[in-house]
Structure 1
Amino acid sequence: MTSTATRPRRSFFAYASALLGLLSLMAVWCFHFPELLTSKEFRAVYNETFARHLLLVGLVAAFVLGTLAILRDRNRRVAMLGVGGATLAVLLGGSNVQFDAIGQTPYSLGLDWFVISLFFSALVFVPLEHYLGRRRISPLRPGWRTDVAYFFMSHVLVQFILILVTASTSTIAGLAAFPGLKAAIQSLPVWAQFLIAVFIADLAQALLHRAYHNLPWLWRFHAVHHSSREMDWLAGSRIHFVEIVLTRSAVLLPLLILGFSTPAVNAYVILVGLQAVLAHANLGIRFGWLEYLLVLPRYHHWHHARQYDYIDVNYAIHLPLVDMLMGTFKLPRDRDAWPQEYGVMKLESVPRGIVEQHLMPFRKGKHYDDHVA
């Protein structure tokens, strides 16, 4: 009888150290080049003291976790990456790094947005999925590097995405003038505007989402999102750049036309960021009747199910009511039923890696049926 060698388990300490070490190094770069690497809009959300304290926590944790992994002889190279990144961050100034007044530049990257968002998202969802997950999958499951790359792209390029979205919507919104309707909406309290904005934005998103699934030239882009074979908090980041621009434009346009207030729109932006992550998360919590009120993990997981009878359902990202109105609402009667597989029907039709996936929609010879049939 021949024995097969088992793959050694990955060390959580080593990979956590690598993540924190690299994030700490990026944070120091943000201090050195704030006008180029940080987003003006996001800088208004946090202050310097918060950023320095967070950087200090990241540095200490990277050193401690990396050292423990090295002493335990588990994934030493990965642990050394974390310790090395943290060491370089300290040499570049660490949490005491100095920086001059932030200058004005026409464009900037959102590296600070990436660092802070990834840190807190992982801090919240990795433990939640470990203890409350529906499926026992590792945070380092196949495809995680690709999804981190998408997470990086969508956050670091946030200003360029905003420019494209604004350019595609502002002109149309300016031509579509409904002063009476705008005045009526703006006379409402912010909480009422927020609720209406959620419904209108979700309806716009769901209609476009349905088009993604039914128009071959749009499906080429959306198939990338459905290529994830495991569902967790990070899987929702896998979205083609073209789809990001199209979806955000479709959602923002009606909100601009109808004149929702800035606080209401900002509240919606926060909601969509949270719910998009939650909907993809690997959480097996029973939400009961809330599943019919809000889009929660089981609801959206069935949209990603690798089953023919669930290909064309559950398009909403906020409110199941939208799918009910569109006739695309569907959940199994068994409230404990979850999909067994995720991904496009022909898994081999979508390549691996962010570069190949971004080139895929533009390659000749691909048809709708190549991905779903």
Structure 2
Amino acid sequence: MSDQPRPRRSYAAYASALLGLLSLFGVLCFHFPELLTSQDFRKVYTEQFARHLLLVGLVAAFVLGTLAILRDRNKRVALTGVGAATLAVLLGGTNVQFDSIGKTPYSLGLDWFVISLFFSALVFVPMERFLGKRELSPLRPGWRTDLAYFFMSHVLVQFILILVTASTSTIAGLALFPSLKAAIQSLPTWAQFLIAVFVADLAQALLHRAYHNIPWLWRFHAVHHSSRAMDWLAGSRVHFVEIVLTRSAVLLPLLVLGFSASAVNAYVVLVGLQAVLAHANLGIRFGWLEYLLVLPRYHHWHHARHKDYLDVNYAIHLPLVDMLMGTFKLPKKQEEWPEEYGVMKLETVPRGILGQHLMPFQGGKKFDDYVA
């Protein structure tokens, strides 16, 4: 066996592959908007914006892929990017035309996946490169699994919403706490938003603690904790069942108490941003803000493979929630970070998204090919 070091991966080649495939997905969205794009998300961006973004992706995929090929670095990966971009152009590129988009009972959120992944990577990859607590490659072990989870949660967003709505609509329709509901609805949107953050975080923290302390729930949640590296993509590793359960538990009190659509929508935006930020590999010293908001070091200790941190830091937004629950714990020295991440019994969680989705139904089985 050779002792020669493995050649370094070319980020240009992988960026080309990512952009080429995203561009191809974008062209498919233009061809089949009713089936592949989310009706709710289409309201957020314009057709012109999508076409300009597609053009940027195509040009960058060709340039970065060609550069990697000329440098003889990860040529197969670079050719994937150039080939995908070429196919996207042959399928019409930015010139694909379509009539008005009709309504369908359901659709995939491929546009949500493309745009979210593009901008998340654009923001967090450079940030983690220059401000990271650890020197961690974007292509670290397990990144393909986490990218598959990112794809699943975004593309199936409408199906998740249908399941969440079905599980909460009946109870939410009950006229519970009418006086409290009226009082909340009389408040300005910003006040409703702040209260909604606290209520939702408390509901989620209680469920989160149940995930850790009830064995059959833990098997679902163990998937999320199985990531051995923490970065912006790691937070995507969540079992489909847990996604539905958690979103239902969070949405239910917000609907029952009658928060306005604007306040709920603002909360949804916060969830998306903070979920990525809390898992990110950022070594910034936030000082007193760590006691006001859940930031990377706070949540990283929740993911620590350390016996003293198995039952702490359940809040997603506000450390105050953990303080009230008696589960707040954070080293006072800001330079103290976990040495290792992952579940305590590594052999109980297999590799790969398919195996991890089947794992909770296999009764605590131990696996030979596990997350190590």
- TM over 0.5, yes or no? yes
Q: Distance in 2 between matches of 1:200 and 1:341?
A: 32
RMSD between aligned residues: 1.2
- CA offsets, 1:22-41, max 9 Å, x none? 00000000000000000000
SS of equivalent to 1:175 = coil
Q: Distance in 2 between matches of 1:290 and 1:74?
A: 43
SS of equivalent to 1:113 = helix
Match of 1:15 in 2: 14
Residue identity matched to 2:333: D
- CA offsets, 1:150-196, max 9 Å, x none? 00000000000000000000101112522221111111000000000
Q: Distance in 1 between matches of 2:322 and 2:252?
A: 21
- CA offsets, 1:236-287, max 9 Å, x none? 0000000000000000000000000000000000000000000000000000
Q: Distance in 2 between matches of 1:345 and 1:179?
A: 46
Residue identity matched to 1:154: S
Q: Distance in 2 between matches of 1:147 and 1:365?
A: 22
Segments of structure 1 that go 5 or more residues without pairing to the other structure are none
* Structure 1 residue 365: Cα displacement: 4.5
Match of 1:307 in 2: 306
Match of 2:89 in 1: 90
* Structure 1 residue 102: Cα displacement: 1.0
* Structure 1 residue 97: Cα displacement: 1.2
Q: Counterparts of 1:59-208 in structure 2 under 5 Å?
A: 59-208=58-207
Match of 1:53 in 2: 52
* Structure 1 residue 366: Cα displacement: 4.1
Q: Distance in 2 between matches of 1:337 and 1:218?
A: 30
Residue identity matched to 1:195: L
* Structure 1 residue 6: Cα displacement: 0.4
Residue identity matched to 1:102: I
TM-score (norm 2): 0.97
- Name which of structure 1's ranges 172-181 and 251-260 shifts more when overlaid on structure 2: 172-181
Q: Distance in 1 between matches of 2:364 and 2:128?
A: 39
- 8 Å CA contact 2:294, 2:317 repeated in 1: yes
Residue identity matched to 1:55: L
- CA offsets, 1:172-231, max 9 Å, x none? 111252222111111100000000000000000000000000000100000000000000
Q: Distance in 2 between matches of 1:258 and 1:181?
A: 7
* Structure 1 residue 128: Cα displacement: 0.1
Q: Distance in 2 between matches of 1:245 and 1:42?
A: 19
Match of 1:347 in 2: 346
TM-score (norm 1): 0.97
Q: Distance in 2 between matches of 1:106 and 1:339?
A: 46
Q: Distance in 1 between matches of 2:142 and 2:196?
A: 34
SS of equivalent to 1:285 = coil
SS of equivalent to 1:151 = helix
SS of equivalent to 2:173 = helix
Q: Distance in 1 between matches of 2:21 and 2:347?
A: 32
Q: Distance in 2 between matches of 1:353 and 1:365?
A: 17
SS of equivalent to 1:4 = coil
Q: Distance in 2 between matches of 1:167 and 1:354?
A: 26
Q: Distance in 1 between matches of 2:125 and 2:353?
A: 23
Q: Distance in 1 between matches of 2:211 and 2:261?
A: 29
1:209 matched to 2:181? The reply is no
Q: Distance in 2 between matches of 1:233 and 1:13?
A: 20
| Identity, % of aligned positions | 85
Match of 1:218 in 2: 217
* Structure 1 residue 364: Cα displacement: 2.9
Q: Distance in 2 between matches of 1:132 and 1:365?
A: 38
